[in-house]
Structure 1
Amino acid sequence: MTLPLPTPADLVPTDRMQWILERLAEEDGGLGDPTLLPAPEGRKLAEQTNRRWNTDLPEMAAKDFSVRSAEGREIACRLLTPEGASGLIVFIHGGGWAFCSMATHERAARLLALEAGAHVLIFDYRLAPEAPFPGGLNDCQAVWNAVVTGHPDLTSCSHLRALAGDSAGANLALALLLALQADGEPTPDAALLFYGVYDANFETDSYINQKDGPGLTRAKMMRYWNWYAAAPGDRLNPLVAPLQASDAQLKALPPLFLNAAAIDPLRSDTENLVRRLRSLGRTDSYSLYPGVVHGFMQMSRELPEARMAAAEAGRAFREFAES
């Protein structure tokens, strides 16, 4: 399969994307960069600015409960269940390992639930810099353990079980797959990975050509990395940077669905991961969305490509279930 690469035209925002970018510049012009604030203040700002993407929520059942970590902490969870749901997607939100929550990603998670016809489980993991690697990853593993050991609030979620995540959430989802594999633990049947961060190489094509955004920038990603995994040695760990995994580790992964935004400093991370997977003889699905920026799946109320991406991911989940 040929890897779809962006053309110069793909790096120009679509008309709708440009309208959204201009609106965001007007609405957020005086708010500043949350990654330049102390983390708690930046987190509040990220929650505030993400509220606009989480209105008009698709209707479905929602059940709140908690999962206990190995250290005894309670991890807040929400199970979203559309009518006729079959199978379970454990969705890990993005936000640079430092920002965002169930609330900032609930509309995206609900739309994925509808398109996949599946239960979707979202949850709040610990955030950097207060909890750098492996804090958030350990919380993700605790939630997955609750799934496989039959947590009472998840007993109805049988059949196919998949992980999903966007941006840093995709990083955590892929890292969790590698961790479970290394420990000989039960692994998900598949994973849906959206515009993920998979390496700490800031010299890739997209990091250079999209270094100033719009939206996510190279400098912001460097600050996120410094909060999550500051030590250079940590960044060679596949559980931090999954592109550091061996060929054998990558080859043994369950089936993956991956996508990327063309106008995104992280685009090359996904391209490089797809190249590795294909060099190993794998046939994982990959879609490139032209004319849109990092985080575009959050914008489903106003951006057609966000709805298209959710529909494609949902279709991939259903195809995994049928295979």
Structure 2
Amino acid sequence: MSAPTASMQAVLDRLAAEDAGLGDPTLLDPQAGRALAALTNLRWNADLPKVAEARTVMQAGMPARLVVPGNDTGGEAILHVHGGGWAFCSAATHEGAARRLAIACACPVLTVDYRLAPEHPYPAGLEDVLAAWEARDPARRWSMAGDSAGANLALAAMLRMAGQGAALPAMGLLFYGVYGADFGTPSYIAHEFGPGLTRAKMQRYWDWYAPEAARGDPEVAPLAATDAALAALPPLYLNAAGLDPLRSDTEALAARLAALGRSDRFDLAEGVVHGFMQMGSALPEARDAFAAAGEAFARKPA
């Protein structure tokens, strides 16, 4: 098992000190867990990158956060689906990530507050993402992005669109996503107890989101999609964190896409934990990851 990078270890030491005694939010009732997750994520919104505009809007009846970078080229936009185990986090907790993504891709990023589990299990969040997509501004060419459970929802939405023959995003940017419910993968075994995300936490998130009987549905666990369904997806950019129980999910998805002859880019960020891109104010590897996503975005087909 690889070790954390020096900068990642410094952040982990900081978190151990700041969060001592707070406990595991997935062991609390959902409202209390959500509040705790919000507080611990909002720390990363210190020293936010400057953008030309940042405001709250409504998108398909949902609150959303729109950030427009100063380097906006005028033609593109990204619908961003935040992570948090389908149960936690919001556009507010992911403000820093949205701003860094907007600057890296030189276009506005819209993050929606979709309904959360367990009060609203599958398919509520997915339906909200699809509704937000349908309400997009037709004056721009849109792509879709997501991290963790948000990457799951973004990929599921693209599978639904492709299956229906609907207009697809120009590109999908998927960061350390959860694409299957196999808790015996190499990375689940290697990083069962973290650091950070653990196998037990992921099992609780899954229990909140979808019953076991539903997990063979590709819209719930996209690794269950057929080769034909994966082949129909738009160009993708994938990354994974080296010290993450979910790493094998992305590795499996990348391998299947490559076997289909696709040229999707996959980057493995060694020595960092799940959710590392949230930590852009303190972690150079997070800033590097946004830069890499921006490079891939700039090279997507016209």
- Same fold by TM-score greater than 0.5: yes
How far apart are 1:193 and its partner, in Å?
0.3
Q: Pick from 170, 194, 205: which aligns with 2:175? A: 194
Output the CA distance in 1 between the equivalents of 2:270 and 2:210. 31
Q: How much has 1:155 moved relative to structure 2?
A: 5.5
Question: Does residue 36 in structure 1 map to residue 23 in structure 2?
Answer: no
Q: Map 1:246-257 to 2 at 5 A.
A: 246-257=226-237
SS of residue in 2 equivalent to 1:208: helix
Aligned to 1:290: 270
Offset at 1:121? 0.6
**C-alpha contact (below 8 Å) 2:71/2:103 kept by paired residues:** no
Partner residue in 1 for 2:225: 245
For 1:19 and 1:45, locate their aligned partners in 2 and report how far apart those are by CA, in whole Å: 22
Task: Kindly indicate whether residue 6 of structure 2 is the aligned counterpart of residue 15 of structure 1.
Answer: yes
Give yes or no for the alignment of 1:133 onto 2:114: no
Matched to 1:63, the amino acid is: R
Unaligned runs of 5+ in 2: none
Match of 2:44 in 1: 53
Q: One-letter code of the match for 1:197?
A: V
Does residue 222 of structure 1 match 2:203? yes
**What's 2:92 paired with?**
103
Partner deviation per Cα, 1:16-61 (whole Å, 9 max, x = no partner)? 1111111101111111000000000000000010111011112220
Read off the aligned partner of 2:283 and give its amino acid letter: L
2:147 and 2:161 mapped to 1: Cα distance?
19
Asked if 1:162 is matched to 2:153, the reply is no
Is 2:72 the partner of 1:85? yes
Distance across 2 between alignment mates of 1:155 and 1:209: 45
For residues 62 and 209 of structure 1, what CA distance do their matches in structure 2 show?
40
Corresponding residue for 1:118?
A: 107
Partner secondary structure for residue 282 of structure 2: coil
Size of the aligned set, in residue pairs, is 299
TM-score, normalised with respect to structure 2: 0.97
Superposed counterparts of 1:253-292, under 5 Å:
253-292=233-272
Moved over 6 A (4+): none
1:63: Cα distance to partner? 3.1
Output one character per residue of 1:145-166: Cα deviation in whole Å (capped at 9) or x when no partner: 001xxxxxx365x1x3210000
The CA distance in 1 between the partners of 2:164 and 2:70, in whole Å, is 35
Deviation at 1:65, TM superposition (A): 1.7
CA contact (8 A) 2:237 2:296 kept: yes
Aligned match of 1:5: none
What are the Cα deviations for residues 231-290 of structure 1, in whole angstroms up to 9, with x where unaligned? x22100000000000000001111000000000000000000011111111111000001
Moved more, 214-223 or 82-91: 82-91
CA–CA separation in structure 1 for the residues paired with 2:96 and 2:192: 28
What secondary structure, in the 3-state scheme, does the structure 2 residue paired with 1:262 have?
Answer: strand
1:62 corresponds, among 54, 78, 88, to: 54
More off after superposition, 236-245 vs 11-20: 11-20
| Offset at residue 64 of structure 1 (A) | 2.2
Cα RMSD (Å): 1.1
Gapped regions of structure 1 (runs ≥ 5):
1-7, 69-73, 148-153
Q: In 1, Cα distance between the equivalents of 2:17 and 2:299?
A: 41
